[in-house]
Structure 1
Amino acid sequence: MGLNAALAVHPASGHGAAARIADAVAERLRPAVDRLDLLTATSVEESRALMRSAHAEGLDVLIVLGGDGAAHQGVQFCADHDVALGLVPSGTGNDFARALGTPADALAAADTLAEALRTGTRRVLDLGRLDPGPAGQGAWFATVLCSGFDAAVNARANALRWPSGPRRYDVAILAELAAFRPRPVTLHTDDGVLELDATLVAVGNTPYYGGGVPICPGATPDDGLFDVTVIGAAGRLQLLRLLPGLRTGAHLAHPAVQTLRTRTLRIEADANPAWPAYADGETQGHTPVIATCVPRALTVVAP
């Protein structure tokens, strides 16, 4: 039986970059598979419908051309349908692709992916899963679940139209510094309960968020555990001094930072107002939030 693949294109990713390079990416991938369908969607609902139709026709590999938001949708589908995932990054953050060692250039990534398709190279990864709560089945996440200051930054960055790329997060950080305050947080882990005043909690299945920030530098998606980074009650001046180290991983040495490892985590924060929560850069409502590391939940086509 031949290899049936689909290329899911999110035209708005990377300010239109995905749409501009879709044909060139498809040209590189097509010789490596027996069938390649092009799935172009302008909404999450349309994308999911196209993926379901492709699955009904015997889909083996879903290849996502887009950024972290597009990758997040691909993860949901592939984990739920036992379909392998391939990534060709063309967004502003590309944190999941970065964690997989995928080339940052989309065409180079397509060439690397094509070779992996030809050789049958696969990796099986853990994923995080959020507790379903009253709304139904919980979302999967591949990179980082964050709550607190960093989630507020993520929300503000998503609303900005300028600048693009990692600088958008830098602008959002400066804007949030003026208003954000630490608050009492309770963390329920495998090893017990931790209560403290905190600025942020980041739960890493992989190291990066925010366009390459290694918030959980030691996180690996094949050990069955989350790496959790907690920044305690840091004031604005402390945060300003700590933030430059985030892009190098030096923040772990700061006295306000502590780390832990756990398979499950419940985050509870003082609800006035509730802390926002984001996973893979996508909003997941507010605290309380429960996450579980699920071993071997996703197959990816990657070296």
Structure 2
Amino acid sequence: MFNRLCIIGVGLIGGSIARAARQQGLCNNIVGYGRKLDEQNLKTAKSLGVIDDYTLELDKAVQDVDCVVIATPVASIESIFTQLKPLWSNDAIYTDVGSTKGSVIAAAQKVFGVVPDNLVPAHPIAGAENSGVTASVDDLFLNKRLIITPADNASPEAVQKIQVFWERLGSLVSVMDVQHHDSVLAATSHLPHILAFALVDMLGHKDEQSEIFQYAAGGFKDFTRIASSDPTMWKDICAANKDEIIPLIEQLKGELDKIQRLLETNDSQQLFETFTYAKNARQRFLDQFYNN
């Protein structure tokens, strides 16, 4: 499918893309690129066979490539575009894996003046708490959703090729408007991460923290699992999508205030109905998307 694939940022996602692409025979050669401080991770990626080679020089990394995958934190996208601008090739396809897409489109417009028609933003809804190439696996995207958010001027051929690429990596691909993507992911991914971080932050600062965590049951572990995610990455994601996240936080405050009032007024019936609605809504979600 591609002769030479360049991965900018060979971490969990970038490394997993490389592993899956190699396993599925989607490219002949994979080169990794990163900064000097990433060199040990790149050496590890090469020694593990995740990539064929690596370089710390971007011009060498993108030389004669067919596809460039930007798998760096969303806050770095504008800088990456700036570095790529003089090296940009009309013969290659460029894509990314950022969790926010409006910020990617805005960065492209700022750097290039217009979104290049061979740039196809994408977001694999897959991940893990651990980071780095050692956490990468070849089946990370298997049966996981992948959202493509092409600009209006995107090349249909480029969009089609990226869609097929992700489908062959095992993803369930959807095409979505940028704003819709950021709105949906704010509710289903970004807000839950904020809740997990906030809860653990609150409990961790309590004087009796050792006793709280000592007696925490499996539910606490399950609910707070995502608080083990990379803080730098999630700081950047939340900042990039704050316009969608802040209204959701306000709505959540209202929901918590409602539950507080029900407790204060001993309205056990309404509390029961609230919990029952939530339980049934979650079951409908499970039946529709996971139990088929």
Q: Which has the higher contact order (CA 8 A, sep 6+)?
A: 1
Give the TM-score of the pair, scaled to structure 1: 0.34
Q: Which has the larger radius of gyration?
A: 2
Question: TM-score, normalising length from structure 2?
Answer: 0.35
